[in-house]
Amino acid sequence: MRIGFYQFSPVFGDVKANVSKMVRIVRASDADILVMPELATSGYFFGDKEELLEVSEPIAGESVGRLIDASRESNTHVVLGIPELVEKPDARERLVYNSAVLLGPNGVVGVYRKVHLFNTEKRLFAPGDRGFPTFEVNGVRVGLLVCFDHMFPEAARTLALEGAQIICHPSNLVLPELGQLTTRVRAIENKVFWILGNRYGRETKGEKTLLYTGRSQVVAPDGKVLVSALESEDLMGVVDIDPELAKNKQIAELNDVFKDRKPQYYRLG
């Protein structure tokens, strides 16, 4: 299986341009799974909810539709971040989730809504309400997380316990070094492959600037970085893997990271 990321710097508010760029990349891809950044269609640094609503769209909207068409041409499955607009009859306002969408040649495979909202995201997005589901791509179990989820080992462990062999992680990381380190640790802890699809560049609102860290990477179950990007570059990084390796949870002759767990002694609440 060929897996990887496409790192780029989405233009804030220019959905059509961002989607067009991703469509070109997907059409040219030979990957089985390709991970784009968090909120790849829209950019990230929103000043208020109205600004966010202007670029939000339902999963069954134009952006995902165009990428499904591109996916069909190259037979590539794509994971990307999108501000997902949801109209609920019983809600007083329109809800927007910071979502990751897994799509393929046959349409939308699955959606994950970010559970752990970072900083001012709490003022803009509804928290995820679907837990941590897994999905299937070409016979391989895949889990999705979004950016700040990497700080919560329970999230990755839940996906691994559900059989995920690959974790796809669209991100807009702003804390230097941290996400690139924790994703390697999570891969080792759970003996899974990890695709970090981060963005680079900067976005400014008034006197505040967010600087994104780039350095997207694909990590093996032993923590080895198989392919990575620089801090500031457009790059499609793809590598061949054997997803069956993620089914082996043994780390020593007499140790297995799942079989040796002692849940009766853990405090999770």
Q: Rounded to an integer, what is the distance from CA 9 to the centroid of its chain?
A: 15
Q: Catalytic pick from 57, 84, 114, 168?
A: 114
Is 38 catalytic? The answer is yes
**Side chain identity at residue 161, one-letter code:** L
Q: Catalytic pick from 21, 147, 191, 203?
A: 147
Sequence-separated (6 or more) residues with CB below 8 Å from residue 93 = none
- Whole-number Å distance between alpha carbons of 229 and 232: 8
**Side chain identity at residue 241, one-letter code:** I
Is 168 catalytic? The answer is no
- Whole-number Å distance between alpha carbons of 100 and 59: 10
Is 147 catalytic? The answer is yes
**52: β partners:** none
Q: Catalytic pick from 38, 57, 121, 203?
A: 38
- Whole-number Å distance between alpha carbons of 266 and 132: 20
**Side chain identity at residue 69, one-letter code:** D
- Residues annotated as catalytic (active site), given as ranges: 38, 114, 147
